[in-house]
Amino acid sequence: MLNPTMKPLNNYLNSLVVIAALGYFVDIYDLILFSIVRVPSLQSLGLSGSELFDSGMFLLNTQMAGMLVGGLLWGILGDKRGRVSVLFGSIIMYSLANIANGFVHTVPAYAVLRFIAGIGLAGELGAGITLVAETLPKETRGWGTMIIGAVGISGAVLAGVIAEHFDWRICYFIGGGLGLLLLLLRAGAYESGMFKSTTEKSVARGQFWTLFTSKDRFFRYLRCILIGLPTWYVIGILVTFSPEFASAMGIPGTVIAGRSIMMAYSGLVVGDIIGGIVSQAWRSRKKVVAVFLVSTIVCTALYFKFPYQGVGQFYWACFALGMSVGYWALFVTVAAEQFGTNLRATVATTVPNFIRASLIPLTFLFSVLKPAWGPIHAAMGVGALSIAIAFFALAPMKDTFTTDLDYIE
């Protein structure tokens, strides 16, 4: 006879996965929207020529700087006040900021709101992954985080579709509205039992600085960040500035950034699903990340060296690039599994945002190399460095597939 408590428990677990996945869906929509509407939005503000690239990179870096600040804020709050509090607070902030973004008429105002939106966007993924990882059994939590990643990343595809049919200001209004609607769904979200147990003990929670007081904790944390470097090299440089690279490679036709991003994120969805399935089959996170890093090398080489006959083939190269970095949700899961309950949300929330913020030094290095090397070789050099660093960080990491997460640092 079935245990009568099993069905309600399963429904509860499924609802958490759905809530986290839909939250990440809206998060990714709003996060990627600027990259998609960069050119038309800046043109409507009176910019042209090289200003589109320079101001676009400035605004993108401003958004990423906001995510770095937000990662620290929401990560610490998630361990001190709970994972669900972050899910509510972050979505309110970035939804209102994106609605306000639809009213901007100057680049400075645009930058301020992208910074605020970045702070809000920083909390969604880490809190959702942590909540689901702490609630699902260790044998199946990989399926839950895979669903969060696959559903969430597809938000970028929706952003691409919406941007092709609506003015850029309307796109921002839609993203903010979706976030506010999602608040209604979150009214039934419940806190992680593991987190509740730490509140009943005399345990210091969310103390970010303790990640640096132990050599072991520091290097575990640093490795979690460095293995993700290639993801934002691919998305933040190769895909976001795909029109400029396509022009430099002499590809016939006009490449639209929004379509490149939509194709890349479609590839990310496929990569996330494949990575989740293979990780469960192999019972390993580390081996799967290594395979993705190798595929990033191959797809980056093809991106620059393929003999394109038109923009259609170039868009498929962007799709392949997206697949090659489809370990995004997987590596955030790895980060969550590396640390105890009292630091887990801090780590799982700050790690992806440090990766996003790594786009700032990556684009700086690209800008430094570009005048002497040209855009193509400069981008290849930055990519080679980021992938090499990721391999170096992955090698000594512990595989955490079967790790029991109910412990304190």
Q: How do residues 89-109 score in pLDDT, each as one tens digit? A: 998 999 999 999 999 999 999
- The residue with greater pLDDT, 81 or 397, is 397
pLDDT 10s digits, 386-400: 999 999 999 999 998
* Predicted confidence band of residue 11 (pLDDT cuts 50, 70, 90): very low
Q: Where are the beta strands (DSSP E) in 75-137?
A: none
- Cα gap 119→110, rounded to integer Å: 14
Q: In sequence order, what are the residues at sequence separation of 6 or more whose Cβ sits closer than 8 angstroms to the Cβ of residue 9? A: none
User: 289 vs 82, 144, 389, CA distance in Å?
Assistant: 29, 18, 13
Q: Binning pLDDT at 50, 70 and 90, where does residue 84 land?
A: confident
Mean pLDDT, rounded, for 136-150: 86
- At a CB cut-off of 8 Å and minimum separation 6, what does 229 contact? 355, 358, 362, 386, 387, 389, 390
Alpha carbons 129 and 305: distance in angstroms, whole number: 37
Residues contacting residue 22 through CB under 8 Å, at least 6 positions apart: 151, 182, 185
What CA–CA distance (Å, rounded) separates 303 from 306?
Answer: 6
Mean pLDDT value across residues 72-86 = 88
Q: Please name the residue that has the structure tokens 């401003």.
A: 62
Around Cβ 113, how many Cβ atoms within 10 Å?
24
pLDDT tens sequence across 165-195? 999 999 999 999 999 988 887 776 777 777 7
pLDDT attached to residue 117? 94
Per the CB < 8 A criterion, the answer to whether 93 and 116 are in contact is: yes
Give residue 4's pLDDT. 36
| pLDDT mean over 3-30 | 69
What pLDDT is attached to residue 3?
38
Predicted local confidence at residue 188, as pLDDT: 67
Tokens coding 89: 């607070």
Q: Specify the pLDDT at position 9.
A: 41
Q: What percent of the chain has pLDDT over 70?
A: 96
Q: Is the pLDDT of residue 12 over 50?
A: no
Question: Residues for the chain: how many in total?
Answer: 409
Q: Which residue has the tokens 């209004």?
A: 173
Note the pLDDT of residue 267.
95
Model confidence band, residue 29 (pLDDT cutoffs 50, 70, 90) = very high
Among 2.60.40.10, 1.20.1250.20, 3.40.50.170, 3.30.70.1230, name the CATH number for the domain at 10-187+208-394.
1.20.1250.20
What are the pLDDT digits (tens) for 237-290? 999 889 999 999 999 889 988 889 889 999 999 999 999 999 999 999 999 999
pTM above 0.85, yes or no: no
Task: Specify the range with the lowest mean pLDDT, choosing from 6-15, 28-37, 41-50, 226-235.
Answer: 6-15
- What span, in angstroms and rounded, lies between the C-alpha atoms of 180 and 50? 36
Q: What is the pLDDT of residue 54?
A: 86
Tokens of 159: 């952003």
336-393 pLDDT, tens per residue?
Answer: 999 998 899 899 999 988 888 888 899 999 999 999 999 999 999 999 999 999 999 9
* 344, 408 Cβ separation under 8 angstroms: no
Cβ pair 360, 66 in contact under 8 A: no
Each residue of 129-139: pLDDT tens digit? 888 888 888 88
Model confidence at 113: pLDDT above 80: yes
pLDDT score at 240: 86
